[in-house]
Structure 1
């Protein structure tokens, strides 16, 4: 089942499959999410989901059972 992923603040929407890595979905949408360690330890890739939950996108995938997901990218000038 396809999930509509909306990336904010750019307001770019793309369809993805449940289980697809979030970084891969962002890349397909032309969005760069900063990364560091790629293991979730440094938190450089933190994003906020529509429920306010903060996740590390480098170790996360599109959750199943949803038709829409909003991903809010943080802006940190130090990265």
Structure 2
């Protein structure tokens, strides 16, 4: 299991590698805005603790990580979405 912490709200949830970011966020009660659901519009951009940016609508938990079991994600809400 991977522990995901969503900032700025400090909400933690357990996730399995390969789960979609959107389903994990929804289960935790965290809203990640979406637009196109294809990764092109950028509405669902989430920044990870290492500075990498992902598109939550097309990314899976842990699929790009080799090391740990903890992920911190910064969710920014653009009022235009």
TM-score normalised to the size of structure 1?
A: 0.93
Match of 2:11 in 1: 12
Partner of 1:58: 57
Contact 2:33 2:77 in 1 (8 A): no
Q: Residue deviations 1:45-71, cap 9 Å, x none?
A: 001011010110000011154310001
Structure 2: runs of 5+ lacking an equivalent: none
RMSD of equivalent CA atoms: 1.0
- Give the whole-Å Cα distance in 2 for the aligned partners of 1:75 and 1:26: 14
Greater than 6 Å deviation, 4+ residue runs: none
Shift of 1:77: 1.6
Please give the alpha-carbon distance, in whole angstroms, between the structure 2 residues aligned to 1:75 and 1:24.
Answer: 17
Deviates more, 1:62-71 or 1:28-37: 62-71
Please, which runs of 5 or more residues in structure 1 have no aligned partner? Answer: none
Q: Which residue of 2 aligns with 1:47?
A: 46
TM-superposed deviation, 1:75: 2.4
In the superposition, the TM-score normalised over structure 2's length comes to 0.91
